[in-house]
Amino acid sequence: MDAFRQIPSVDHLLTHALTGELIASFGREWTANAIRDVLAEYREELRAGITVASDETLISRTAARLSSQAALFPVQIINATGVVLHTNLGRAPLSIQARMAVASAANGYSNLEYELGQGKRGSRNTQVESLLTRLTGAEAALVVNNNSGAVLLALTALARRKKVAVARSQLVEIGGGFRVPDVLRESGARLVEIGTTNRVHLRDYQQALEEGAQLLMLTHHSNFKIVGFTAEPNFKELSVLAKSAGVPLLFDQGSGALLDTASWGLPHEITVQEALQAGVDLVCFSGDKLLGGPQAGIIAGKKALVDKLRTHALYRALRPDKLCLAALSATLLHYLKAEAEVCVPVYQMLGRQEDALREQALNWQQELGVGNLIPGRSTIGGGSLPEETLPTWLLALETRGPQKLLARLRACQPAIIARVEDKRVVFDPRTILPDEDQYLLAGIRTALAQFKE
């Protein structure tokens, strides 16, 4: 009990000479709360029989706690996993021009909802809608904060209390627990499941329409494949059927592909333009997947339908901010200028050749003096092109404690995220940005030096 009596008070630590800098940096109230938390932990340590700590030690813990709480979020990291669209790591990195556009929009006021020419209030959607309609051929377009929001808005505005026909093969769940049936339920629509797990026919959609379905919905398979004995009607057939019944055809395309992915040795991913040309009325897709821009949900298609979404009350809750629109506009301009393949980082990564990847990994090995070069596969990720990979070369480090080395790498500044393969820590050059090599190598050296201590 003597040790408990010696626990300093909050006021005592607040008046300590070493605490002055903390109060100056974080304020008295925040510092006092951090001290209370540290003292609470200290009491638990004393109950467990841990040695008594000095005032200086407790203040040091308080400083560490405050620094952790005040850390900026998110911060830049180095993605050495080889997963191009890594959802946990923020998916698509932005182009230089998109980053500059964000900085410009953030630097003071902007004309987000102001018409400079006429000097009156405008719409935040006008400029980006113009770019999207030029690019996709859609009659109209609308941007919200993510693709889940885009699908929710479309279903809420067009199918609330109405039956929506969806193939059982497309009732998917993707990362983060996003489930198509759940979104339908939240929108107020009534799900009508048609077909079987692996096969759905045009007659199934026809029957659903005869039984009162007022919207046909198609969803991208996202991060899984159905192979073998399968069947699905094509978009053109469904478009003709939907038009004959006078109901909308909605496609959750998801990936945001605007270019032919077959150009990079990958299976063809149906593009937004192709879906619209095939007669789909509305296409919903992401801004931060294969499009290569910021997180956003984009809805493109028939003007009459887009206008219904634009005037719905839910749109205001889902609309994007100025930073998103700045980055998205700059990214779309790359496509309109036919420079996306060389300017958008996602496509720079997809286009990297094996020889160049091997040379980069070999340079790492020579600089570090450790590791082995092994062939490997890079993953697309982000719920796009499920199970598809590209050949690469990896720098592999043999270690008896791969998880400990990964932890050391994550503690670097900037943090390095790698992966374990066959009990080796491996680094894939495909997802290393052009100016990151020096930071990657410095971090690996530091992590290895600490690992040996």
CATH classification of the domain holding 429: 3.90.1150.180
- Kindly state the helix (H) or strand (E) to which residue 192 belongs, with its residue range: strand 190-194
pLDDT at position 174 is 67
Q: Does 250 share its domain with 191?
A: yes
Residue 79 in tokens: 């993605």
SS3 content of the chain, % helix, strand, coil (to 5): 50, 20, 35
Radius of gyration of the chain (CA): 27
The answer to whether the peptide bond before residue 429 is cis (omega within 30 degrees of 0) is: no
CB atoms within 10 A of CB 373: 14
The CATH number for 254's domain is: 3.40.640.10
- Domain termination site, one of 318, 340, 362: 340
**The predicted structure's pLDDT at residue 452:** 65
Residues 112 and 212 in one domain: yes
pLDDT for the residue numbered 225: 67
Separation between Cα atoms, residue 402 and residue 405, nearest integer Å: 5
- Domain assignment present for 379: yes
Predicted pLDDT of residue 47: 87
Q: What is the pLDDT of residue 114?
A: 93
Both 205 and 265 in one domain: the answer is yes
Last residue of a domain, one of 288, 321, 340: 340
Q: Are residue 260 and residue 318 in the same domain, yes or no? A: yes
Question: Do 149 and 249 reside in the same domain of the chain?
Answer: yes
Rounded to whole angstroms, the Cα distance separating 119 from 373 reads 61
Q: What are the φ and ψ backbone dihedral angles of 150, each rounded to 5 degrees? A: -65, -45
Model pLDDT, residue 176? 60
In a domain, 91, yes or no: no
Number of neighbours of residue 79 by Cβ within 10 angstroms: 24
**8 Å CB contact between 365 and 453:** no
How far from 220 is each of 41, 249, 265, 271, 307, CA to CA, in Å? 49, 14, 20, 11, 24
pLDDT on residue 387: 73
Residue 149 and residue 240 in one domain:
yes
Residues 145 and 105 reside in one and the same domain: yes
Check whether residue 227 and residue 324 sit in a common domain: yes
Q: For residue 222, what pLDDT is reported?
A: 60
Low-confidence ranges of the chain (pLDDT < 50): none
When divided into structural domains, the chain yields a total of 3
123 with 201, same domain? yes
**Which pLDDT does position 224 carry in this prediction?**
60
Tokens encoding 187:
């929108």
**pLDDT value of residue 177:** 63
Q: What span, in angstroms and rounded, lies between the C-alpha atoms of 196 and 8?
A: 68
**How high is the pLDDT of residue 381?**
86
Q: What is the pLDDT of residue 9?
A: 94
pLDDT of residue 384: 73
Whole-structure pTM value: 0.91
- Whether residues 410 and 264 share a domain: the answer is no
- Checking 67-71 for CB contacts under 8 A at 24+ apart, the result is 69/30, 69/34, 70/26
pLDDT at 223 (0 to 100): 55
Enclosing domain of residue 37:
2-69
Q: Residue 102 falls within a domain, yes or no?
A: yes
Neighbouring-strand partners of residue 419: 426
In a domain, 17, yes or no: yes
- What pLDDT does residue 230 have? 77
Residues 6+ apart with CB under 8 A from 437: 360, 363, 364
Q: Are residues 171 and 302 in the same domain?
A: yes
